[in-house]
Amino acid sequence: MFNLLKTAVLMATITALFMAIGSLLGGRQGMMLALVIALGMNFFSYWFSDALVLKMYNAKQVDETSAPQFYRMIQELAHNAQLPMPKVYLIEEDAPNAFATGRNPEHAAVAATTGILRVLTERELRGVMAHELAHVRHRDILISTISATMAGAISMLANFAMFFGGRDSEGRSTNPVVGILVMILAPIAASLIQMAISRAREFEADRGGAEISGDPRALASALQKIHRAAQGIPLETAERHPETAQMMIMNPLSGGGLRGMFSTHPSTEERVERLLAMAAAPVAAR
């Protein structure tokens, strides 16, 4: 519940930021133009990103004949989550990772690397794939698309102001100093909020995945194994296409410290801590 509330607050914040920046830098017309352009850019991503990313990773669709154990696992978890059966894919990569994609539960796909099938036990793999199905159930692709649209519109307004000068809602020129500060800080603020939304959704998918699999400890153990393996085995496709790294159960390109603020994923330590606390809690309290 906390992460759902946090997501709602962050979405409201980035919307309010867009409206405030639009009013300050672009006026009503500039604000609407930036929003329309950003919507257009993200509309294609929302409808077709699943096919694009699966092609980027050279993912191969599998079924009950080609990967019976893995396919039946997804089938059982989807039933537990009360979701339609998604398409199932395997990716020939040594790095252990997995992701979900698709614009809604009826058009969803889950994919896992062959590396994760080798590294994890069956219990741990169930936890990981349940996490991905939780993303599907929570419609996180839609949420990330909306936040990306708002962040993109804010950056676009800043670019408009850089080339054409800022205008308030009455069409008057804004204070140059204020305009410059907003042009620099607004895209950074939008990016920080967008990343915070993504981290909140990962926490929520961990919680949802633990509920779907009924085994929080297994997911916690899986995250620790993936984290350790990721230090020595690069996810090569993600390095060539860094924009896709945010989709993974663990971002193979993220770092700690200050970079963590701009990471799409929370720290592994915090995720594991929350899952173990969930495992220790009475069932009725979950």
Enumerate the active-site residues. 132
For residues 153 and 142, give the distance between their C-alpha atoms in angstroms, rounded to a whole number.
17
For residues 215 and 128, give the distance between their C-alpha atoms in angstroms, rounded to a whole number.
10
The two tokens of residue 205 are 């998918």
* Selection from 114, 130, 151, 116 nearest residue 10 by Cα: 151
- Classify residue 250 by its DSSP letter: S
Helices (H), the chain: 2-25, 27-56, 68-80, 114-119, 122-137, 140-164, 176-213, 216-232, 236-240, 268-280
Instruction: Look up tokens 């092609």; give the residue.
Output: 55
